[in-house]
Chain A
Amino acid sequence: MIQIRDLTKIYRGAAGEVVALDSVSLRVRKGEIYGIIGFSGAGKSTLIRCVNMLERPTEGSIIVNGQEMTTLYESQLRTMRQKIGMIFQHFNLLSSRTVFENVAFPLEISGVAKAEINKKVTNLLELVGLADKAQSYPSQLSGGQKQRVGIARALANDPIVLLCDEATSALDPATTSSILELLKDINRKLDLTILMITHEMKVISEICDSVAVIEGGKIIEEGLVIDVFTQPKHSTTRRFVQTIINTDVPDKIRERLLEKGQGQIIRLSFIGDNTAEPVVSSLVKHFDVDVNILYGNIDQIQDTPFGMLIIECIGAKANCDKAVAYLRKQGLRIEVLRSAE
């Protein structure tokens, strides 16, 4: 649905050149929620704004729904933009218009008839749960309500893509969750492709299907959310993942663990269904070893449970090795933190 190839954006200023995006490529499939995460200054905002040409790329190609965006004439671009909804961190509602008129605004722009506007706006306000606020002004709304208006407005022209520019960053955690739920709901109901940028891993973990991590204008890691979360490769990704789940053993605990005992210390990570398998008791039964559980946690991303367990395997070295081999066969990720003597 969105295909970005070798996108480069260079700002030329008095102080010289700043490379905001450096040959970024990514692909967003139809109907998925794609998240781009990065710290501030990483280039994510420039990236999302290139998709609807609010920023002109210096080089590269952006294809939305089969349409190359970078070569469009102004009037073609306007028509295309009407099909790309966008919501913003600070909502950007028209303060002089009521909620109803704000949602009607994009329809006025695209020349929709009055009667049709009335019908559409009423439905959209229903969809975002603000039917009773139609005649209020934005200044009378809470942040979450304002973003709901923003979402209704972005959906008005039946977009093929929704861009979310830090859409929840100005909201408190509870409101963030409700807005994310609404976005997920819309994604499912309308099969709407959503591209969002954020600096909050929570946003990614709650609703995104795929994620790209951006740093210094480059995509440093990309993939399905569950994969990136459970096996982060880049240190920055790990930092993001750790903001919401502990994949690493805290240093203090790790030191203490490694000092204790004499057995083999193994870390098991598991994703999805095999979480339910009784692997630990199998070890004890079949390999003549004692197992001591040292540390563990379990978490869930969307509907997939995953977790890790650190165990100490006490017994003859040969038996321990066999146990490890067995664990590997179970489709678990195994990391031997300390071998047996």
Chain B
Amino acid sequence: MPNDVFTHLATLSPELIKATWETLYMTVVSVLFASLLGIPLGVILVVTDKGHIKESLKLNQILGSIVNVLRSFPFLILMLALGPFTRLVVGTTIGTTATIVPLTIAAAPFVARLVETSLKEVNWGVVEASLAMGASTWQIIRKVLLPEAMPSIILGTTITTITIIGYSTMAGVIGGGGLGDLAVRYGHMRFDYVVMVTTVIILVVIVQVIQSLGNLFAAKFNKN
């Protein structure tokens, strides 16, 4: 029996490796782009808030609403609804790369809220001290808010990454592949429990590794 399992896995290993690679590719690239969009968005949400260093309630409300709307979409629906936009950006609506667009759009507002929460935890006294020293808004963002919130932002990014791995399992719907797709096609449709269990194990390992790395980095940056 175990022999059978191993033979089976051996035959399927190219598929498993490919799916793992696709999942990692989708996740890493999406987290990267989501952070590029989400971190500035989160920063703006904080500094334009009432009483903060660049108060602008209108802008704050508009951005806040956009973030809320995007966050209310179930990922599956967002992925399908974004089809035309995806085509505009990457030239196609199917495939692994095409999945990165909706993943990014789904994760960016998530990142923005996490960054917002992290930055709001920065001791206001420190911001005020920087103002008293004559720091500009940009200097405060770059030299105070972001560095002070770094451990918290790293942990937030870890959460984002793991959430995106979860979303990416739905990528099969638009031909994005990945471990989730593999589990559905083999495990669910062909009742191949070996593949099902294996993909789950691989996902668990990936999540564990990411969480541990996140904790490690956060601890490294935390000087408290």
Contact = CB atoms under 8 A, between A and B. Distances in A.
Interface residues of A, number: 29
Contacts of B128: 54, 88, 92
Contact of A97 (B133, B147, B224): B147
Nearest to B126: A92
A92 B129 contact: yes
Interface in A130-147: 137-139
Interface stretch (B57-65, B79-87, B135-143, B209-217): B135-143
A109 B221 CA distance: 22
Interface in B191-224: 221, 223-224
B132 A84 contact: yes
Interface string A87-131: 010101111110000000110111000000000000000000000
Given A105-B143, A139-B223, A93 B134 contact: no
Given A94-B147, A108-B143, A52 B136 contact: no
Nearest to B135: A109
A195 interface: no
Interface in B117-133: 123, 125-126, 128-133
A198 interface: no
B112 interface: no
B134 A78 contact: yes
Given A94-B147, A96-B223, A80 B134 contact: yes
A320 interface: no
Nearest to B224: A139
A52 B224 contact: no
Interface in A56-110: 77-82, 84, 86, 88, 90, 92-97, 105-106, 108-110
Nearest to B123: A92
B139 A109 contact: yes
B132 A54 contact: yes
B126 to A, nearest CB: 5
A90 B148 CA distance: 16
B221 A96 contact: yes
Interface residues of B, number: 21
A262 to B, nearest CB: 63
B144 A94 contact: yes
Contacts of A86: 129, 132-133
B150 interface: yes
A60 B223 CA distance: 43
B191 to A, nearest CB: 53
Contact of B136 (A78, A96, A105, A139): A78
B134 A95 contact: no
A127 B131 CA distance: 25
A96 B148 contact: yes
Residue with the greatest number of chain A CB neighbours at <10 A, chosen from B131, B134, B147 = B134
Contacts of A78: 134-136
Contact of A52 (B132, B139, B144, B148): B132
Interface string B127-170: 01111111110010001100110100000000000000000000
A129 B222 CA distance: 26
B133 A96 contact: no
A106 B133 contact: yes
A280 B132 CA distance: 55
Q: Give the 8 A-B residue pairs with the shortest CB-CB distance, closest first.
A: A81-B134, A92-B129, A82-B134, A92-B125, A78-B134, A137-B223, A86-B132, A106-B133
Interface of B: 123, 125-126, 128-136, 139, 143-144, 147-148, 150, 221, 223-224
27 contacts: A54-B128, A81-B132, A82-B133, A84-B132, A86-B129, A86-B132, A86-B133, A88-B128, A90-B125, A92-B123, A92-B125, A92-B129, A94-B126, A94-B144, A94-B148, A95-B148, A95-B224, A96-B148, A97-B223, A105-B143, A106-B133, A108-B139, A109-B130, A109-B139, A109-B143, A138-B223, A153-B133
Given A81-B133, A92-B126, A137-B223, 12 more contacts: A54-B128, A54-B132, A78-B136, A86-B132, A86-B133, A88-B128, A95-B123, A105-B130, A108-B143, A139-B223, A153-B133, A157-B133
